[in-house]
A and B are shown apart, each in its own frame.
Chain A
Amino acid sequence: MAEDYKQKTVTFTPKEIDNLKPSPAIRESAATLSTTGRLLAYNQELKDSLNNGLYFTHLLDQLVQTGEPQTLFAAAQKLINYQLDNSYLVFPQQYSRADFYLIFLNRLLELHNSEQVILQSSDRNHELYHEFPGINTHGYFVFQLEKGSPDGAYYTEKNSGEILFYLNFRKNIVRFNSRSVVKLLLVDYLKELEPEAIKGFEVYLLNLGRYLKEDYGFDVDFNLLDPSNSAVYELANPQLPHSTIDQLFVMAANGGRMLKVGEDNEAILNLDKQTIVTLVDKSRSDHTAISEWIIRVNDGESRVAWFDILLQYQFIREWYLDNLADLEVRSDLLYFN
């Protein structure tokens, strides 16, 4: 789906003159033009190319320096599609499109005074990447471009290949990917890192989505990171086997917590005074025949997401990972499978 993320910052070497192919317009008219005419046409092409380059620098200035969110967005949108080189003028030193995505995110965070992630430059790979304090060398984050569309890219941890979210500048959407978020943060990182560091990274991801939503009206699917009380976490298998909930019941009891039953046969787990996890079969209230289990998390302040529960409570995490085939929170199938 995505282009090889190994794509380097494109560095062009000046081409030989005889490699330069005259544009069709010139070729066609070449025979009929006088020498002066041809020189003038050639000169015009150079001017256009220089102006094109100049406009690029103008956009890059905006990307790097503007304090206006809208200007920043417009510059990024144009830069990821920019055709800088042409047959008359080639710039040997360039940043890749994937790099512009990263730069944009850093600038966006900076405008919100929450630039938690560090934009690093890899000399070895000739590319930019994100490093997150606390995750440090365990995370090397880059964008992988979507195949066939310059406007979409996947935010990827390069070593593990885990794709955390998809971002598209034309459709104005962000889609988080529950499988990779869980695999990377709750399985891999939890073995090596403190929960606080993982929590910090989660907040960073959440902020990215929030700023894109607030500043540019993006449609953001936060998936299991959504802390809203109204968030509905849809399961990979909505016809959850009864025994899966039985398992949570037994595991909770072993941990000194009681899984209660509600009036609509929902399973209710009170985790502390304010935080309640509920498994609900929506078909009961919808009066449909086929069961459709979902998970909700309620905490009064809409600050706790399903992810936080999985991070904080080991027995729930074990239960979730043991039954991942049934319990995995569904991600947008258009972008993840």
Chain B
Amino acid sequence: MANIQDGVVQREHILATTELKKAVANKARYLQTLAAAIQEQDDRLVYQLIDGERYSKEIMQAKHGTSDERNEQLVADISDKLSQYLSGNLIAYLRETYPFFYFEQIGLGQFQFYFGNWWDRRLFGTLDILKVQFDFNQTEYKKLELAFQLEEQKKRLNSDKIAAISQQTDQLQALIDAQNSRDKEKEQVRLQLKKLAQDKVLPWEASKAKEAKQKLVERLSLLTDQDEKAQQAYKIIRESEEKVLALSKEDTLIGYEKQSIVAKFGSFANFTACNESLYRNYIADLIATKGRVKIDG
């Protein structure tokens, strides 16, 4: 029994050894291939190695990849170093394809980008280097999207808001400008009230007189209300000016963004399409240039 048992154990151990050796060799081969790809600056191969599934699907149009995802886990803890390495060529490529994005490194393998090189340009998102995709700041992106939609109505993003504020400002200004005529009218109403009080009223006209007095009092209180509003109007107008400036500035920023996109892509739709196929386009570019180093200098 013991012998038979020993024999089974031995055989199993041999099998286990073979299996493990194969598995380790597989991983070693994976890492060696990756090391060689990096050595040769073959970014295309690096991309294939770190996400075989996606590579097969998008580039080879295959349903299933031949790669082993578990190998890819081996480099999970050095993704920042991988990103940093891959960023060189990728950002050089993006600078050409998206000349209006300005990239700024914020950590090892981490990049954010601004839209444009103008005053107070917007921080537009971060770059996922391993996935070759833009993670747009959704608030900013949606404003841009909306601005393109509003183009059909020949409006800018904040046109309506600015128009509303301007209208309010005009009304307030009119209120301020009418101070003189209000003062005159108040004087008249007061005189009329005084006259009413002094006039002798015949009994059958009493209710009529009361009504007239009531009207005058109401008019007077309306006028003094307007006076009060006019008093506050200066402050509100000043605040409105600040609001309009902020809105105009945003419109100007987005106007520049739209111009940049149209100049390079023709339309917002083309721009979005290009973003969606960025991975494919970039790998295709790497194949076309055969991993030629494109980093300037």
Contacts and interface: CB of A to CB of B under 8 A. Distances in A.
Interface string A202-241: 0000000000000000000000000000000000000000
Contacts of B252: 249-250, 253
A247 interface: yes
Interface string B212-249: 00000000000000000000000000000010011011
B233 to A, nearest CB: 20
Interface stretch (A79-87, A172-180, A258-266): A258-266
B219 to A, nearest CB: 40
A267 interface: yes
B280 interface: no
Contacts of A39: none
Contact of B118 (A242, A243, A249): A249
Contacts of B118: 249, 258-261
B121 interface: yes
Contact of B245 (A243, A253, A259, A261): A243
Interface of A: 242-243, 245-250, 253, 258-261, 267
A261 B252 CA distance: 14
Interface residues of B, number: 13
A249 B117 contact: no
Given A249-B118, A249-B119, A258 B248 contact: no
Contacts of B120: 242, 245-246, 249, 261
A253 B121 CA distance: 14
B119 A243 contact: no
Nearest to B253: A249
Contacts of B88: none
Interface of B: 117-121, 242, 245-246, 248-249, 252, 255-256
24 contacts: A243-B242, A243-B245, A243-B246, A245-B119, A245-B120, A246-B119, A246-B245, A246-B246, A246-B249, A247-B245, A248-B119, A249-B118, A249-B119, A249-B120, A249-B249, A249-B252, A250-B245, A250-B248, A250-B249, A250-B252, A253-B252, A261-B117, A261-B118, A261-B121
Nearest to A249: B119
If over half of B's interface residues share one DSSP class (helix, strand or loop), that class is named, otherwise mixed; here it is: helix
A124 B256 CA distance: 61
Given A260-B119, A261-B117, 7 more contacts: A243-B242, A246-B119, A246-B245, A246-B246, A249-B249, A260-B118, A261-B119
A248 to B, nearest CB: 8
Contacts of A248: 119
B283 to A, nearest CB: 32
A105 to B, nearest CB: 43
Nearest to B256: A258
B243 to A, nearest CB: 11
Nearest to A268: B119
Contacts of B242: 243
A250 B162 CA distance: 14
Contacts of B249: 246, 249-250
A69 to B, nearest CB: 48
Contacts of A250: 245, 248-249, 252
Contact of A267 (B119, B255, B256): B119
Q: Give 6 closest A-B pairs by Cβ, nearest first.
A: A259-B119, A249-B119, A253-B252, A246-B249, A250-B248, A261-B119
A102 to B, nearest CB: 46
Contacts of A249: 118-120, 249, 252
Contacts of A245: 119-120
A280 to B, nearest CB: 13
Contacts of A247: 245
Contacts of A243: 242, 245-246
Contacts of A267: 119
Nearest to B249: A246
Nearest to A253: B252
A267 B118 CA distance: 8
A249 B246 CA distance: 11
